[in-house]
Structure 1
Amino acid sequence: MKSDKKSIGANSSAEHVEQHLQELEKADYEILYYSQEQTFSADELARLINEERLNELMAQSDEFLNSLNSEIGDFDE
């Protein structure tokens, strides 16, 4: 009788996990769907984007890629 309860509990847990994953998948799809529908004007984007911070991040990424390229070049030798 104990084994029956465990199998029922296991199925129940598996069903709950499956249901939860399906809900997450649906939420991800809804977020993607609605984010694609939104249009932003140039003024809205300019207001939302911190241009100074964006430039800093781009400079950091350029530095990183340059150092990575030199490391890769040194690796080949």
Structure 2
Amino acid sequence: MSNNKQSDEKESSADKVDEYLQTFGSDDARERRYYSQEQPFSSEEMTRLINEERLNELLAQSDAFLSSLNDEIKDFDEDDL
């Protein structure tokens, strides 16, 4: 009887895997899974979660990088003339 129970459990697991794989290919099911994981954040939560000092540092670094990149592009263009 234990063999029967193990066989039933294996079939159940296989059925679940098969069902998952079938829904995995379904765009609608994939979207439902994706959006069900989203959680809305209030503005207070976002303010609490964001490290404003670090964000400003990153923005300054990206500005500096873009500026230097822009200078390099200008130098490259001038070399062609």
Q: Do they fold alike, i.e. is TM over 0.5? A: yes
Deviations 1:23-71 (A, max 9, x none): 6xx9x8534x235x42111110011000000000000000000000000
Between the aligned residues of both structures, percent identity stands at 63
Query: Which ranges in structure 2 are unaligned for 5 or more consecutive residues?
Result: 1-20
Q: TM-score, normalised on structure 1? A: 0.55
How has the CA–CA distance of structure 1 residues 46 and 74 changed in structure 2, closer, same or farther, with 3 Å as cutoff? same
Query: Which ranges in structure 1 are unaligned for 5 or more consecutive residues?
Result: 1-18
* Number of residue equivalences: 55
Q: TM-score, normalised on structure 2? A: 0.53
- In 2, Cα distance between equivalents of 1:75 and 1:48: 42
- In 1, Cα distance between equivalents of 2:47 and 2:36: 21
Higher share in helix: 1
Name the structure 2 match of 1:57.
58
How has the CA–CA distance of structure 1 residues 63 and 34 changed in structure 2, closer, same or farther, with 3 Å as cutoff? farther
- In 1, Cα distance between equivalents of 2:36 and 2:73: 41
State the structure with bigger RCO (CA 8 A, min sep 6), 1 or 2. Answer: 2
How big is the alpha-carbon RMSD for the aligned residues of Structure 1 and Structure 2? 2.9
